[in-house]
Amino acid sequence: MARKIIISGGGTGGHIFPAIAIANALLKQDPSTEILFVGANGRMEMERVPAAGYEIVGLDIQGINRQSIWKNISLPYKMISSLWKARKVLKDFDAEVAVGVGGYASGPLLMMANWIGIPTLIQEQNSYAGVTNKRLGKDAKKICVAYEGMEQFFPAEKVMLTGNPIRRSSVKIEGKREEALHAFALDQTKKTILITGGSLGAKTLNECVIAGLDKLIAKDVQVIWQCGSYYFETLQEELKDKLPEQIKMLAFLERMDYAYAAADIIIARAGAGTISELCVVGKPVILVPSPNVADDHQTKNAVALTNKHAAEMVTDLSARIHLVDKVLELLDDEGRQEELSTNIKSLAKLDADEIIAEEVLKIAKK
């Protein structure tokens, strides 16, 4: 008999990619499994999930807007309507297990599943659990985590250290350096820095590149600069005729494996999914945590690595002044590069998707 699994969450690539990885692993382990995704209307999962070959249902739910109280007026109504829609989806699909990966839709879907007796599994990606997951964790059958010490947020007997599911195609970099540099039209003999702010980009990182442009050019290093689709056109106009050949500015990186393979040093935000990929890639990393996230969880993610001497960190506030100097200093320190590379690689967990899928199927069989 086919197992029926619902996977809920999204909002960012950091939630969507692990969700799709779990779905793929479920089908690999049991090809008869039926999977339905539940996301938030208007968010990127409504496009990315169907593109990966899965059906998705949208809930009309949003997060709390911390900048404008008035924009939260409709939130209670949206929450109630999402709970009722979640109930209908769970019943109509006849779900055996509901999996939550974080994001707006995850809360109402798992809450309703718990209320009507459908077992749930939480995949907590960050080193600091959010309020919603802490509440949902009390009723969940299993909580799969990526960091040690998560018993401070969840019942210890439910916690399982699995790591975060990652895009395997993105971290397969062995033997690809030469073809990667060729793909970016870069020089094989020069050092290469990868700067990535995620699919939407990061304003701070973009400003750091602009502020440090003269230093990067003077050092004669190469830069793969993923500035984000949101900023690309504006920056293209602003920097017209100012970027030399060795600085490649791109809106989006279609081949993350090439970007990782080409890089000697990586500068990135500290989202859970990004960090999980970086651990597998094993290159020296400087993290610049975004301050615009709930509970400042990116800083906590970054600190979890710096405490193990597995990454360097520069705060968002000081990045415009210090980041480029920091990366150029690291570029000259091969001993430190080797230390960071060795330590971050020791934290890698490649098979998180398969371990989580196994747990989901175990719960379904019970």
pLDDT for 68 equals: 62
Of the candidate ranges 75-79, 105-109, 230-234, 345-349, the one whose mean pLDDT is the lowest: 75-79
The reported pLDDT for the residue numbered 131 is 80
pLDDT of amino acid 167: 84
Q: Over the chain, what is the mean pLDDT? A: 91
The pLDDT, as a whole number, for residue 116 is 97
Instruction: Quote the pLDDT of residue 199.
Output: 66
pLDDT of residue 337: 97
Number of other CB atoms surrounding residue 341 within 10 Å: 17
| φ, ψ (nearest 5 deg) of residue 318 | -100, -5
Condensed to tens digits (0 to 9), the pLDDT of residues 109-142 reads: 999 999 999 999 999 988 888 788 899 999 999 9
Q: Check pLDDT > 70 for residue 67.
A: no
Main-chain phi, psi angles of 77, to 5 degrees: -65, -45
Per-residue CA distances from 155 to 117, 120, 126, 138, 289 (Å): 19, 14, 16, 7, 28
Residues at the binding site are 12-14, 126, 167, 199, 298
Per-residue pLDDT averaged across 308-322, rounded? 95
The DSSP call for residue 218 is H
How many Cβ atoms sit within 10 Å of the Cβ of residue 46? 16
What is residue 17's predicted lDDT score, i.e. its pLDDT?
A: 86
* 161 conformational bin, left if phi > 0, alpha if psi -120 to 50, beta if neither: beta
b/e sequence 166-183, b meaning 16+ C-beta within 10 Å: bbeebbebeebbeebbee
Q: Give the per-residue pLDDT at 72.
A: 64
What structural domains does the chain harbor?
Answer: 4-166+350-365 (3.40.50.2000), 169-345 (3.40.50.2000)
> Residues annotated in the binding site for UDP-N-acetyl-alpha-D-glucosamine, as ranges?
12-14, 126, 167, 199, 298
- The reported pLDDT for the residue numbered 326 is 97
Mean pLDDT, range 357-361, rounded to an integer: 97
Q: What is the mean pLDDT of the segment spanning 179-199?
A: 93
Tell me which H or E stretch contains 76.
helix 75-93
Residue 1 has pLDDT above 80, yes or no: no
Task: Determine the average pLDDT of the residues in 334-349.
Answer: 96
Give the percent of the chain with pLDDT over 90: 72
Instruction: Give the whole-angstrom CA distance, residue 113 versus residue 87.
Output: 7
pLDDT in tens, 239-264: 888 888 999 999 989 899 999 999 99
Q: What does the pLDDT look like over 33-44, one tens digit per residue?
A: 999 999 999 888
**Percent share of the chain, pLDDT over 70:** 96
**pLDDT surpassing 70 at residue 74:** no
State yes or no: pLDDT of 285 exceeds 90: yes
What average pLDDT does the segment 132-153 reach?
Answer: 92
Work out the average pLDDT over 92-119: 94
CA 264 to chain CA mean position, Å: 21
Average pLDDT rounded to a whole number, residues 80-100: 95
pLDDT of res. 240: 86
Question: How high is the pLDDT of residue 189?
Answer: 95
In degrees rounded to 5, what are phi and psi of residue 100? -115, 130
